[in-house]
Amino acid sequence: MNSNKVDILAFGAHPDDVECAAAGVLLKHIAMGKSVAIIDLTAGEMGSFGNVETRKNEAKIASEILGLKSREILGLPDGGIENNETARMLVIELIRKYQPDIVLCNALHDRHPDHANAAKLVADACFLSGLKKKETFFDGEFQGPWRPAFIYHYIQDYFLQPDFVIDITHQMDKKMESIKAYKSQFIDPNDHNPNSVLAFLDQIKNMNIIYGRPLNVKYAEGFNVSRYLGVADFYQLR
């Protein structure tokens, strides 16, 4: 039995990507008894504020707030994520290590070039991870193939038309708490441009309000898919 296995594995190009865009959904599923892990593809070393060590510590605090089973930093270059064979193999190793049913990853189109590059990298790795002849090893042991059943892309800075949304009204306060754990990025008193920080936090809330409106709920997070979704009947839809 794989003791590392989780139900949901969320990838982010940078520490705080997952919290800003999908923390509500993760909190909701953790409360349902699902296990969750996060992989930060980079350490966020190119960020204008903070450094690798502070962001690592902040990610640890955010992870405790969320109640994650595990979190890792893959170590790809911040500002230079590429969908190449080396990076794909590293991601495949993690997919096979955690054997998730569901993978969350970055937006398909966004302001930061790392986001779209990470989205394609993770999606391609999810497919390739299911190939028997794509051999990987973890701790010296051969890893068998594993392909997640679903890949969902969370929506980030750019407003995108979601393919579906999930109500996070009851998780919103704790989501914002997890985001604010990244003090160097959002509430550092040494930040000489606090208005932009406040505006970004407001943007997150406002986007979640907009996505919640069609469901008649206060807050929701939006997601895109590369293949269409299927449901058993009309009554599963809201």
Percent of the chain beyond pLDDT 90? 81
Supply the pLDDT for residue 49.
78
Domains of the chain: 8-236 (3.40.50.10320)
Where does residue 237 rank: exposed (0-12), middle (13-18), buried (19+ CB within 10 A)? exposed
Q: Dihedral of CA 139/142/148/151: which sign?
A: positive
Two structure tokens written together for 134 = 């794509």
Supply the pLDDT for residue 12.
98
Supply the pLDDT for residue 188.
57
pLDDT band at 221 (very low <50, low <70, confident <90, very high): very high
pLDDT (average), residues 118-125: 98
pLDDT band at 194 (very low <50, low <70, confident <90, very high): low
pLDDT at 45 over 90: yes
Q: Picking from 40-44, 88-92, 115-119, 227-231, which range would have the lowest pLDDT averaged per residue?
A: 227-231
Q: What gap in Å lies between CA 88 and CA 90, rounded to an integer?
A: 5
Cα angle: 102, vertex 55, 62; to 5 degrees = 50
